[in-house]
């Protein structure tokens, strides 16, 4: 019985390792913005460059998050905005990101928080989106 339980536990760990390594929240498709994976580093970069921040709270297990990562951020509609923002991709499962999630009231993901270059919130989007709609949101943020 003990041997069976040990085998079952080891098998479960092996499967977990395979599936968790298959799609990490930080594995970015070709053509993605230059993502920073630390909120503090993104805030520092925004202050230095005077660019607003797109802070994306996401997770590898979240289907809408992965759809945005694959289809929205590297899309032709969004590419013109890559150099106009500081882009932060923040794993919702990472303990280091909990303070920022609490600060912005993240209760569901994907949660995309827009901040001015000083870190002041200027809007957000929760849930999946299309490249065209996201590009419109980014354009509106820059126009304000």
Question: DSSP characters for 42-54?
Answer: HHHHHHHHT--EE
Q: What is the pLDDT of residue 144?
A: 87
Instruction: Give me the domains of the chain, ranges plus CATH numbers.
Output: 25-143 (3.40.30.10)
Q: Which of 135, 49, 58, 122 is nearest to 94 (CA)?
A: 58
Q: What is the pLDDT of residue 75?
A: 98
pLDDT, mean of residues 89-101: 96
CA distances from residue 31 to 39, 96, 124 in whole angstroms, order as listed: 22, 26, 23
| % of residues, the chain, pLDDT over 70 | 82
pLDDT, mean of residues 11-17: 39
CA distances from residue 73 to 7, 15, 32, 68 in whole angstroms, order as listed: 42, 30, 6, 6
């Amino acid at each position: 019985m003990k041997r069976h339980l040990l085998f079952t536990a080891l098998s479960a760990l092996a499967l977990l390792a395979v599936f968790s390594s298959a799609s990490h929240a930080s594995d970015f498709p070709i053509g993605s913005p230059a993502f920073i994976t630390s909120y503090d580093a993104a805030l520092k970069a925004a202050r230095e460059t005077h660019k607003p921040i797109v802070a994306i709270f996401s997770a590898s297990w979240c289907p809408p998050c992965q759809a945005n990562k694959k289809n929205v951020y590297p899309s032709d509609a969004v590419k013109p905005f890559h150099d106009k923002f500081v882009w932060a991709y923040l794993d919702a499962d990472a303990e280091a990101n909990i303070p920022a999630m609490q600060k912005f009231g993240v209760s569901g993901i994907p949660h995309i928080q827009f901040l001015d270059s000083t870190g002041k919130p200027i809007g957000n989007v929760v849930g999946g989106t299309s490249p065209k709609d996201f590009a419109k949101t980014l354009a509106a943020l820059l126009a304000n």
